[in-house]
Amino acid sequence: MLPEPDPTAYPIDHIAERGADGDPALVLRDRTLSHAELRERVGRLAAWLANEVTEPGARVASWGAKGELTCLMPLAAARAGLVHVPVNPLLKHAQVAHIQADSGARLLIGTPARIKGLGEGDVPQGCRLIAEQDALDAAAALGAYLPPSKADPDTLAAILYTSGSTGKPKGVMLSHANMWLGAVSVVDYLGMAPDDVTLSVLPLSFDYGQNQLFSTWYAGGSVVPFDYLFARDVVKACAAHGVTTLAAVPPLWVQLTELEWSDEAVASMRRMTNSGGALTVDHVRNLRRIFPQARLFPMYGLTEAFRSTYLDPALVDSHPTSMGRAIPFAEILVINDTGDLAAPGEEGELVHCGPLVAQGYWRDPERTAERFKPAPAMSRYGGVAVWSGDRVKRAEDGLLYFVGRRDSMIKSLGNRISPQEIEEVALATGLVAEAVALGIADERLGQAVHLVVRAEPGAEDPQGALPKVLAKELPNFMQPQVIHWRDAMPLNPNGKIDRTALMLELQA
């Protein structure tokens, strides 16, 4: 049993100071950086960033594949007194343009092909673009070095953009303390050690993916950043690097359990973690069959509070559908519809209290007020809590169970997708007069995007043209798996499109 984690928060860039000098820290395609080299590279990149963007608290964005630059940026930007905005590499120009404009980024560092694809209107005034290798070369040429920062842990350090139930992506504001304590918490309940090797397959724009860096380096271990084309590539990488820790979302686990795993890929595995959607009983059984010696950690989280619960691996076989209990530093309350603490077995809203709660949504006080509210009176932490909108039940033994979502968010391939985002793109084509995006249960995707539309009268070949336009304007994970054409939409008593009726129809 590990001791209770140190509740003291530090600036997030101090994560780089944790490992032993000669131990591996970052395994790149052509070389491996030791922890000593990691510290040096973070300090040099931070000095260059501070020289390039002199306004404290200014936003700097990164938009590239996993590599040295994207792995160092979260720490280097924070050390430079800037706010890092990681952009999902799967996004296309419209989504990137919104994030750039909304965040007011002063600098965007990315791969040359991505930067080249941005149009004049996609980059806000005053934002400079630079290729990632050019940034690394410039940092090395500058020759300056910034030591670990003395930032207040409550200072804003990052903005992670996530889809809302309505409208465009919103930026979740994370402090140094949010990210530091998230790393400490994960290391504690996963039991990570300096000889751990984490295969980083999740996007670094996700809190789940980004924490893989922080928690591994806090423990003194090494990270292998890995962008894969096929699930079998993950299996090969696990064997090649002696991976001990693998985190994924359910759709990837489904693909991985359909493959043959070599003895070399399985032998080193110590733990697997899941978030971004629940594992089915069959998923759990398949993973336990392939990795009988590894510990499986089902987890539940939300970007607004990083991570809320995990299920003890010892309980996975007997309680495979449970969300588990609160992680260290999180207080999870179930509040019923009268505002009281829900009784065992009573459904209520999951409310997350404590120091992992983010600082709200960037430049969005209205949506912040909807989700970030005063903690319930019975909270031991008090302050501001995240009211998740998710409905859960707590059993007599204290284990939590997910009931459903209050909002209409679609969760596909581990991505939270705003239906309105898809609908707005469809309507903007001029090919459809009405559009409704829904998430329908799918074994491989978690939820598949279904788009129900009514053609714009007089539109030329809308059924042939719409898929082509959507393929151009939406990232792959937002693409509708099925487009349903209707002559008329069902209406509810208020005259609005009856989404519930459509959902029931598609589920039938």
What's the pLDDT tens digit per position in 83-128? 999 999 888 888 899 999 999 999 999 999 999 888 878 888 899 9
Residue where a domain stops, chosen among 151, 175, 209: 151
pLDDT of residue 131: 97
Residue where a domain stops, chosen among 95, 122, 151: 151
479 is in which domain, residue-wise? 410-507
pLDDT of residue 31: 97
3-state secondary structure 435-502: EEEEEEEECCCEEEEEEEEEECCCCCCHHHHHHHHHHHHCCHHHCCCEEEECCCCCECCCCCECHHHH
Q: Is residue 401 part of a domain?
A: no
Amino acid identity for residue 258 in this structure: E
257 within 8 A of 287, measured Cβ to Cβ: yes
pLDDT of residue 199: 98
What is the rounded radius of gyration, in angstroms, for the C-alpha atoms of the chain?
23
pLDDT of residue 112: 94
User: Beta 410-412 vs 309-310: how paired, if at all?
Assistant: unpaired
User: Beta 415-417 vs 128-131: how paired, if at all?
Assistant: unpaired
Q: Is residue 425 part of a domain?
A: yes
Count of domains in the chain?
A: 2
Q: Is residue 431 part of a domain?
A: yes
pLDDT of residue 166: 52
Q: Is residue 487 part of a domain?
A: yes
pLDDT of residue 424: 87
Q: Is residue 441 part of a domain?
A: yes
CATH code, domain carrying 441: 3.30.300.30
45 within 8 A of 112, measured Cβ to Cβ: no
Residues in the chain with pLDDT values less than 50: 1-2, 165
CATH code, domain carrying 62: 3.40.50.980
pLDDT of residue 172: 98
Residue where a domain stops, chosen among 130, 151, 172: 151
